Structure 1
Amino acid sequence: MSRGLLDAQKGHASKGGLSRRTFLKFGVTVGAAAGGGLVLGFSISAAGQGQGAQNAKSVIGGDANEMPQGGVFQPNAFVQIDTAGKVTLVIPKVEMGQGVYTSIPMLIAEELEVPLDSVVIDHAPPNEKLFMDPLLGGQLTGGSTSIRYAWEPMRKAGATARVLLISAAAQQWQVDPASCHAERGQVVHAASNRAIGYGKLVDAAARLPVPQDVRLKDPKDFKLIGTTAKRLDSPEKVDGTAMFGLDVRLPDMKYAAIVNCPVFGGTLASVDDINAKKIPGVRQIVKVDNAVAVIGDHTWAAKRGAAALVIKWNEGRSAGVQMQHVIDDLASASKREGAVARKDGDIGKGFTDAKTRVDAVYQQPFLAHATMEPVNCTVHVRADGCDIWVGTQVPTRAVDTAVKITGLPADKITVHNHLLGGGFGRRLETDFIAQALKIGKQVDAPVKVTFTREEDIQHDMYRPYYYDVIAAGLDANGKPIAWQHRIVGSSILARFAPPAFKNGVDPDAVEVAAQLPYDLPNQLVDYVRQEPRDIPTAFWRGVGPTRGTFVVESFIDELAAQAKVDPAKYRRDLLAGTPRARNVLDVAMQAAGWGNALPKGQGRGVSVMHAFGSFFSIIADVTVDNGEVAVNRVVCAVDCGMVVNPNTIEAQIQGGIIFGITAALYGEVTIKDGRVEQSNFTDYRMLRLSQTPPIEVHIVKSAEAPGGIGEPGTAALAPALTNAIYAATGKRLRQLPVGRQLQTA
């Protein structure tokens, strides 16, 4: 990372560096990097709040205090162009397979007029003030927001740089800037057949005032945005040079194998480590409040040492907790009135006027994340500082955790963030970082703490178990005129972001359920918070839309069946006020051949969803044979607004659908005696390659602002699948996973 950027992050104002004050909210500011070059800083504000760049004075040789004092300076990303013409984008979003290290650079490269493969990516360091995502309220990656939050500001940053570089060249040539244009990293003056590379212009460009209102390209003029660009991170992942947290190797590094208390909330009572210490390569036994770690010269020694430990636990109050206790708690809580998330019309009158009433209870289980890369963290804790090597979605929270555990000030904590081998919300948490730090405080060397797959699954933070009570009143034509939905379950936001939990409502838990795309005149949606004893819960590739879509779209199918109306037509009739949702349904129906007859034992199901700023419709074809479900084909239509890279959209939807099929068919974490019963992929099943269906993704052209993509495919899949099972068998599944429900039906 350049010295200029480091100075900006530290708030220093030095010759050749930019202070935090030089970066203007809703704007772009410019200065020179140490050794020559152009640095752009820009803030990222909520999507759709575009404003022109503000004027700023050059700070070359000057004091940052000369800059306009236009409020709090909270830039969220930086661009640097050096004298060699290299463009570096310091990006606060982490790459965990979703393709942001290609799609976000495409936004810069489009307006800056540079080849995509000339953009270099750097991880942003933890800095909540500089890298705040206003859509999420912090420096974190999640919620399918990366392109939504970056869409306009990143393009403005590239366009501003382009205008400044053109102006610098025009001054040098003494021509009208309007007679020049930029292309492939250089400024061209066609009339005189002259061209000059960006690298030779950046010093002069840094001395120019920033234009207030740069004109962004008309979408019809895009050369890069909307094209199928190859991913920039693929070569390193293919040749093995890409660095994930699990790949960290340091001089004198030790390896820790950890044994956690099997019971939620339990603590360590005692440990007999005599035999463990006899194993060659075992160097140390470390005790923490709820675990024991064996420190070895290599992983094999540490694992053998861990297996030789004889441990006694204080199992505590949760030792008697059974799965049925959790379900009974939720069922009991569902009898209480909830906090109102949405109330339209007169729900009492709606039910009074209804000719038919339909009631249902839906249940969805705890789910583990089971990321490809198990959670891991390498730390080196010293008296004068602490280094953390990890793949995390929340780097600033990692720093906060280190401050709490080590007692060191934040400026003594360094987080080295790496690529993530899957996140899905698991790496929004810092529990495993905290545990590594507690161990590292007792080890006089860098130490890597890696969970085995068993520890990973049995000591995850789980997608909550949800219990939904839902009812609808239908008129004489089968149209819903009353809709009542009570959501009962854990509140992740009450723990993760307490200010977001207001008036008893968790806005994530009720998402989708409280913002239906359907025309329903009388609605009441409420929420009852019920925590699952000591079982920790967390985000899981979305929570509200994922769990909410299953309930809503399954129940809409029930109403269609009650009305004896084709389920797709039933939806179309209720979507007149949401044309984008109706359109994706139409596209999916046509692509899937909706209405064509299927052989006996096969069924076709549909779902529609509006979440994360995108509109989805999924149609699934299944075969059911003796309780076994084979997914034959999945068709997805998506309107996610303006498309940056169709390749990453298609890949994310396909991956999300596979993730969703796995969860719907097999995903379930159960509790016995306060312990998670599942331990590995033998009993926490994954969809096999041979079971994966053809997945068609149809991207609907749209001029709207971009929506999210990472989570919607998963969220919209389950109801399409269970509705297809109903079409094939006549069995309505109101509880997941599918496999267990069909086997016990």
Structure 2
Amino acid sequence: MAIQEISTTRRSFLAGTGGLVIGFALMPKIPVFAAEKGVQAGGADSLMTLNTFVRIGPDDTVTILSKHIEFGQGPFTGLATLVAEELDADWGQMRAVHSPADDKVYANLAFGLQGTGGSSSIANSYEQFRKAGATARAMLVAAAADEWRVPASEIIVEKGRVRHPGSGKESGFGALATKAASIKPPPDVKLKDPAKFTLIGQELPRLDTVAKTNGQAIFTLDIVPDDLLVVVVAHPDHFGAAVKSFDDSEARKVKGVVEVKQLPQGVAVYADNTFAALKGRSVLKVDWDLSNAETRSSDQLAADYAKSLTEKGVTAAEKGDVEKAFGDKGLKTLEAQIVFPFLAHAPMEPLDAVFIRAADGSLDVYNGAQFPGMDKNTAAKIVGLDTSKVRLNTQITGGSFGRKAQFGSPYMQEAAAAFAATDQSRPVKHMWTREDDIRGGYYRPMYLHKMRGAINADGRIVAWDQAIVGQSILGKADLDSTSVEGASDLPYDVPNVRVISHNVKLAVPPLWWRSVGHTHTGFAVETFLDELLQMAGKDPVEGRLEQLKEDPRYAGVLKKAAELADWGAKIPEGRQRGVAVVKSFNTYVSQVVEVSALADGTPRVHKVWCAVDCGVAINPNIIKAQMEGGIGYGLGAVLFDAVTLGKGGAIVQSNFHDYRSIRINEMPDVEVAVIKSGEPPTGVGEPGVPPIGPATANAWRRLTGAPVRGLPIVAVATS
């Protein structure tokens, strides 16, 4: 495993081995992704100095240090584009690595600590990384002006070359880097007029694509130090259960098993290899204490959720007089209840981490850290080290969808506890299998929505009453905005609105899931609205446009999606179409879906037309890819996915055979239009997910005549 270590001292701007560093520096051990080859760069000229925004090497390469984890959504490429644009670099010289864990230096400006989530990577970094690039450019120009003894105003930078046309002098970045590093950076820099962008807005190739397709990319799972000890933990089948006792006699007989220990989270089996660890765990006998466990089934939970509707909730939104409006006998009314199941994140790479204790007593931790500072602090506390002695090395990761963004880093708590329970003389890899992850909790919570709506004689929706029951992801007793986002800020102009939230307590640990509250509120709002429009005899697109508030961006994506789909044209026999529009994370997305029914009654989505307005489009190619990925991810959930608790509260699902994604042959054809915009950029990692569910359900209702009152559409076994 080619992992280098280069350490430098901390200061604002550093010169090292002929390189220019902008930011702060500390540590390393991260593969570099290079644009010119799309592979991890190696060798001394890579200059992998970390905890910096921009580094320029003697070979003219420009390395950006991403404060955001790369798990497929594209921050390496997006952030490098911002720097390259203002630096006037050539795309072929751009590289990217993860920054170190530092909640102050590399804080997400939306969170106040280092972390990736909420589709915020580009939104919070847009100006910051452009300024980093512009500052580096100004320092290179100043260095050239001093060396060539010419006015800085006469120097131009273009495609990675610094030139003075009058004298004919020219240089690459690398030759000027050491001198530039000694120059005091300007206190302020002027950013480009967007009209002069040459890279932002272009479909540049991703920095990490080739390495991820030819096997050169290094994930945590690929890190295999010498003398590695592999550990897996046996967890209960019931949430909230604890170890009462265990019998490890059979586990210890397995060749390769080294030790068995009880941890706060379960019983850990240590072995010389993964096979032995898993085999040892499979014959481990654990007696679980269920006294504090969740023993209700999903059906019982749904019934208890319905009872919660009779209790006083927390008001999330209130306008007009809902009760008076529903008292009008001249209105047509509609009621519905919709149940949403628990959802696992099911990333392709399950949770894992590697711990290596150095000779000086310090600790290196390698993992896909979505909140690296939090993971670092957790590991340090449990292992008993000062945080200065712990290096958290963030790895590229095979997906997350929110799974690794956990309060208090519970996964790291378990991994660190497993390492701390050893003598720490051997490196330890802590692993979760797919089954561990799907059965491990931290799900998108189960929710129940109760809806009431009324339309007047003109077919306009005049009253909207919505109650939402579910766990507070934030653990709040009062209003949790993530439970009601997308409903409490209803985009439609309805004079009488009430949205009530009911928090429930369960032993099942909740977590955000790709698009958070919009996963269920977007579905509930857009399907119920569609039913009301159908009851009023309104076209789904025109009816929405009539009642949308004065926000041209909502209307813009809705009209564009309809235009792409040639809405109103003749539909092939046996098919129907549905539409939805959802704003999430300040990004507007509308989708039109065409669906038919297979012979076994399963919905088949043939085509999706998608329009997205995310402000300035940094890289349209990545935006389209994220819309396509969000559609595939969301469609699998709406059609097939649910984690259910069976009789006695035991978890039913375990792997992709009973918690399945859509297959490649089930992926619809997707056409994406990116709306040109001068608004500040917003995120695209999550907003592609919410509209696909309601658009599909609306098409399915129009095809079959039956509204969708519970997900997934294709029923799953509950016991």
Give yes or no for TM over 0.5.
Answer: yes
Q: Does residue 407 of the first structure (1) align with residue 407 of the second (2)?
A: no
Letter in 2 for 1:586: K
SS at match of 1:687: coil
Report which stretch shifted further, 582-591 or 200-209: 200-209
- Picking from 402, 409, 414, the partner of 1:435 is 414
Paired positions, count: 684
User: Structure 1 172/566 Cα, relative in aligned 2: closer, same or farther at 3 Å?
Assistant: same
Report which stretch shifted further, 568-577 or 720-729: 568-577
- Picking from 405, 415, 418, the partner of 2:395 is 418
The aligned residue for residue 528 of structure 2 is 555
Within 2, Cα distance between the matches of 1:319 and 1:489?
15
Letter in 1 for 2:546: D
Letter in 1 for 2:15: A
The aligned residue for residue 663 of structure 1 is 637
Q: Does residue 696 of the first structure (1) align with residue 671 of the second (2)?
A: yes
User: Structure 1 211/724 Cα, relative in aligned 2: closer, same or farther at 3 Å?
Assistant: same
CA positional deviation for 1:213: 4.3
Retained in 1: the 8 A contact 2:15–2:182?
A: no
Q: Does residue 392 of the first structure (1) align with residue 365 of the second (2)?
A: no
Retained in 2: the 8 A contact 1:600–1:728?
A: no
Correspondence list, 1:78-93, <5 A: 78-93=53-68
Retained in 2: the 8 A contact 1:369–1:460?
A: no
CA positional deviation for 1:305: 1.6
Within 2, Cα distance between the matches of 1:711 and 1:319?
30
CA positional deviation for 1:332: 1.8
Retained in 2: the 8 A contact 1:381–1:441?
A: no
Letter in 2 for 1:389: Y
CA positional deviation for 1:363: 1.5
The aligned residue for residue 175 of structure 2 is 200
Within 2, Cα distance between the matches of 1:441 and 1:576?
56
SS at match of 1:443: coil
- Picking from 370, 382, 397, the partner of 2:346 is 370
- Picking from 463, 467, 476, the partner of 2:448 is 467
Q: Does residue 680 of the first structure (1) align with residue 658 of the second (2)?
A: no
The aligned residue for residue 737 of structure 1 is 712
Q: Does residue 542 of the first structure (1) align with residue 511 of the second (2)?
A: no
Correspondence list, 1:495-534, <5 A: 504-531=478-505, 533-534=506-507
Deviations 1:188-241 (A, max 9, x none): 111222212222323443444443442222222211111111111122212222
Report which stretch shifted further, 159-168 or 684-693: 159-168
Retained in 2: the 8 A contact 1:604–1:723?
A: yes
Retained in 2: the 8 A contact 1:268–1:288?
A: no
The aligned residue for residue 133 of structure 2 is 158
User: Structure 1 569/6 Cα, relative in aligned 2: closer, same or farther at 3 Å?
Assistant: farther
Q: Which runs of 5+ in 1 are unaligned?
A: 9-16, 19-30, 43-74, 495-500
Within 1, Cα distance between the matches of 2:101 and 2:283?
39
Within 1, Cα distance between the matches of 2:560 and 2:52?
37
CA positional deviation for 1:576: 5.4
Letter in 2 for 1:450: M
Correspondence list, 1:708-727, <5 A: 708-727=683-702
Correspondence list, 1:215-234, <5 A: 215-234=190-209
Letter in 2 for 1:392: A
Retained in 2: the 8 A contact 1:369–1:540?
A: yes
Report which stretch shifted further, 331-340 or 691-700: 331-340
Q: CA RMSD of the aligned region, Å?
A: 2.5
Correspondence list, 1:238-257, <5 A: 238-257=213-232
Q: Does residue 260 of the first structure (1) align with residue 221 of the second (2)?
A: no
The aligned residue for residue 7 of structure 1 is 9
The aligned residue for residue 33 of structure 2 is none
CA positional deviation for 1:97: 0.6
The aligned residue for residue 271 of structure 1 is 246
SS at match of 2:404: helix
Within 2, Cα distance between the matches of 1:108 and 1:321?
53
Retained in 1: the 8 A contact 2:449–2:524?
A: yes
Retained in 2: the 8 A contact 1:136–1:143?
A: no
Within 2, Cα distance between the matches of 1:553 and 1:538?
23
Within 2, Cα distance between the matches of 1:253 and 1:166?
49
- Picking from 563, 576, 598, the partner of 1:603 is 576
CA positional deviation for 1:381: 6.1
Retained in 2: the 8 A contact 1:669–1:676?
A: yes
Within 2, Cα distance between the matches of 1:414 and 1:335?
51
- Picking from 15, 24, 45, the partner of 1:33 is 15
Q: Does residue 620 of the first structure (1) align with residue 599 of the second (2)?
A: no
CA positional deviation for 1:415: 1.4
SS at match of 1:739: coil
Correspondence list, 1:60-79, <5 A: 78-79=53-54
Letter in 2 for 1:433: M
CA positional deviation for 1:677: 0.4
Within 1, Cα distance between the matches of 2:415 and 2:164?
58
Q: Does residue 455 of the first structure (1) align with residue 416 of the second (2)?
A: no
User: Structure 1 160/3 Cα, relative in aligned 2: closer, same or farther at 3 Å?
Assistant: farther
Deviations 1:515-552 (A, max 9, x none): 22222233222322112x21111111121122111011
Deviations 1:267-311 (A, max 9, x none): 222222222222221211122234222211111122222222222
Within 2, Cα distance between the matches of 1:437 and 1:176?
57
Retained in 1: the 8 A contact 2:242–2:289?
A: yes
Within 1, Cα distance between the matches of 2:309 and 2:23?
50
Retained in 2: the 8 A contact 1:581–1:608?
A: yes
Correspondence list, 1:626-645, <5 A: 626-645=600-619
Within 1, Cα distance between the matches of 2:418 and 2:613?
47
SS at match of 2:259: strand
Within 1, Cα distance between the matches of 2:655 and 2:502?
33
CA positional deviation for 1:83: 4.2
Deviations 1:588-641 (A, max 9, x none): 111112112324432100001111121111000000245211111111011111
CA positional deviation for 1:2: 11
Correspondence list, 1:308-323, <5 A: 308-318=283-293, 320-323=295-298
Within 2, Cα distance between the matches of 1:554 and 1:337?
26
- Picking from 125, 133, 146, the partner of 2:100 is 125
Report which stretch shifted further, 84-93 or 375-384: 375-384
Within 2, Cα distance between the matches of 1:348 and 1:441?
59
Deviations 1:686-718 (A, max 9, x none): 211111111111111111111211111111110
Within 2, Cα distance between the matches of 1:76 and 1:577?
44
Within 1, Cα distance between the matches of 2:582 and 2:698?
14
Deviations 1:293-334 (A, max 9, x none): 221111112222222222222222326322123212321222
Letter in 1 for 2:601: G
Letter in 2 for 1:427: K
User: Structure 1 452/210 Cα, relative in aligned 2: closer, same or farther at 3 Å?
Assistant: closer
Retained in 2: the 8 A contact 1:363–1:735?
A: yes
Q: Which runs of 5+ in 2 are unaligned?
A: 25-49
Letter in 1 for 2:174: G
Runs of 4+ residues deviating >6 angstroms: 1-5
Within 1, Cα distance between the matches of 2:683 and 2:608?
20
Within 2, Cα distance between the matches of 1:2 and 1:288?
33
Within 2, Cα distance between the matches of 1:77 and 1:364?
43
Report which stretch shifted further, 332-341 or 686-695: 332-341
Within 2, Cα distance between the matches of 1:694 and 1:312?
49
Retained in 1: the 8 A contact 2:265–2:414?
A: no
SS at match of 1:449: strand
Retained in 2: the 8 A contact 1:117–1:232?
A: no
User: Structure 1 347/212 Cα, relative in aligned 2: closer, same or farther at 3 Å?
Assistant: farther
